[in-house]
Homo-oligomer: A and B are copies of this chain.
Amino acid sequence: MLSSQELVQFRRDLHSYPETGWCEFVTTFKVVQKLRSFGIEPKFGRQIINPEFVAGRNEKAVEAAQKAALDKGVSAEFLEQMGGYTGVLATIETGRPGPVLAVRFDMDCVDVQEALEAGHRPFDEGWASTNPGHMHSCGHDGHTTMGIGLCSWLVENKDKLCGTIKVLFQPAEEGVRGARPVAESGVLDDADYFFGNHLGFNLPTGTISPEPGLFLASTKLDAEFVGLAAHSGADPHKGKNALLAAATATLAVHGIIRPVQETTALNVGTLHAGQGRNVVAPNAFMQLEVRGETEEVNSYMREEAIRKIKASADMYDCEVKIVKAGEATEFKPDRKAIDLVYEAAIPVVGEEMIKKMDLKLGSEDCTILLRRVQQRGGVGTFIIFGCETKAGHHQRLFDFDERVLDIAVSFYKNLVPMICGFK
């Protein structure tokens, strides 16, 4: 089993080359290599992704990432085996009948430029991001490392276990894009138990939260308006103004009438439109998201957003194409799974370090995997591993207390035998 030092080293290696969602070619390669070093032959890439459900994938970025992967030493053969997709699933078969337990870790980074300045530990110590504009500022490098740590333990201890343990390294969690195509690949359909986790969240190192609160269901949408250019000083009325359509849509989406009794959120985050100052803008592209406390409320928000975008396009005689770019569902953990977490956590951190949280924000596509498992009779939940951070999630100065790596692995060392123990 990997030592604390080895875990830290692996995490820092990941940190030094972060990759954005759907572009985790080098990361996938590193995980597969490491698993193979343990004697595990995992599934990866296209084998665990249903392409039909892939959303929010930038083909140009994917292509560039593949080229960069070649430069970083990933073989063309391996890339071909990936089939253009990232992510890894390690399956540890004990050979004994028993339940299927799945644990999910995510592996993508955020599109933020890491602080390359003195005082920021990754920079000072030489393991800051070398991929400009990309940074592991959400801690997924830590998550992936926890998964590797867990696998190293599983391999050495599978004699004492029964059933099957699946360790998923999921791509593209940011933007809640990766879970759906993994779910739809069916690779977790036999899971009886399912757990996901996140580190940080303003809890001190050493705390574990078996009940984080509420994640919001969410839908991410891209809207592309197509109008018609015209000279604004000569015959602007012959154009179709996509910028006005998009500006109208932006305001209308922000004016959606909100339910009073349920939590909701929305944002039009980006808008890019137009070709020149004196040209009626024939093009506009906007990225937005809606969220809701329940799937039902999120659907209301999504359908209202779509209604308003379409009407805005009609208003200016433009065409509009609306594409889903990501999704998460509401978080409905099972009591049975929560109780297991409590039980497994106490020996690791002590009762007083176990915190029930009351989050009511953010979204996690782990909810999509959990729902899939639940729909087939399984149970599961989501765990927060508290740890101090140097700055908030997604900030350029983010760094986390690496002691959390050991804590998480220890937790899973307790949890796994509770489910797949061989008696």
Using a CB–CB cutoff of 8 Å, the interface residues on chain A facing chain B are 111, 175, 216, 218, 220, 231-237, 239, 241, 243-244, 246-248, 250-252, 254-255, 257-261, 263-281, 284, 287-289, 291, 300, 307-308, 310-312, 314-315, 317, 325, 360-363, 394
Whether A270 and B281, one on each chain, are in contact in the complex, defined by CB atoms closer than 8 angstroms, is: yes
Copies per assembly? 4
The residue on B at minimum CB distance from A254 is B255
Cα–Cα, bound, A70→B261 (Å): 45
Known: A233-B361, A270-B274, A274-B270. A243 touches B250 (CB 8 A): yes
Cα–Cα, bound, A278→B260 (Å): 13
CB distance from A230 to the nearest CB of B (A): 9
Whether A255 and B260, one on each chain, are in contact in the complex, defined by CB atoms closer than 8 angstroms, is: no
The residue on B at minimum CB distance from A220 is B277
Contacts of A394 in B (CB 8 A): 231
Contacts of A231 in B (CB 8 A): 362, 394
Contacts of A268 in B (CB 8 A): 243-244, 274, 281
The residue on B at minimum CB distance from A260 is B265
Contacts of A235 in B (CB 8 A): 259-261, 361
> Secondary structure of the A side of the interface?
mixed
Partner of A277, one of B257, B272, B288, B314: B288
Whether A258 and B255, one on each chain, are in contact in the complex, defined by CB atoms closer than 8 angstroms, is: no
Cα–Cα, bound, A310→B311 (Å): 9
Cα–Cα, bound, A387→B189 (Å): 49
Known: A260-B360, A307-B315. A272 touches B269 (CB 8 A): no
Partner of A237, one of B254, B255, B257: B257
Whether A276 and B269, one on each chain, are in contact in the complex, defined by CB atoms closer than 8 angstroms, is: yes
Cα–Cα, bound, A259→B175 (Å): 21
Partner of A258, one of B237, B247, B250, B308: B237
Cα–Cα, bound, A311→B247 (Å): 15
The residue on B at minimum CB distance from A309 is B315
Given A235-B259, A244-B250, A269-B277, 14 other A-B contacts at CB below 8 A?
A175-B278, A216-B260, A233-B362, A233-B363, A236-B258, A236-B259, A237-B259, A248-B252, A255-B255, A261-B361, A269-B278, A269-B281, A307-B314, A311-B315
Sample 20 A-B pairs with CB under 8 A, ordered by A number: A175-B277, A233-B260, A233-B267, A235-B261, A236-B265, A237-B257, A237-B258, A243-B271, A244-B268, A246-B271, A247-B247, A247-B250, A247-B251, A248-B251, A258-B264, A258-B265, A270-B276, A272-B273, A277-B289, A311-B315
Whether B275 and A270, one on each chain, are in contact in the complex, defined by CB atoms closer than 8 angstroms, is: yes
Whether B232 and A269, one on each chain, are in contact in the complex, defined by CB atoms closer than 8 angstroms, is: yes
The residue on B at minimum CB distance from A301 is B237
Partner of A289, one of B261, B278, B281, B289: B278
The residue on B at minimum CB distance from A266 is B232
Whether B254 and A244, one on each chain, are in contact in the complex, defined by CB atoms closer than 8 angstroms, is: yes
CB distance from A315 to the nearest CB of B (A): 4
Name which of A235, A244, A315 has the most chain B CB atoms within 10 A of its CB: A315
Whether A300 and B237, one on each chain, are in contact in the complex, defined by CB atoms closer than 8 angstroms, is: yes
Whether A276 and B315, one on each chain, are in contact in the complex, defined by CB atoms closer than 8 angstroms, is: no
The residue on B at minimum CB distance from A279 is B269
Contacts of A248 in B (CB 8 A): 247-248, 251-252
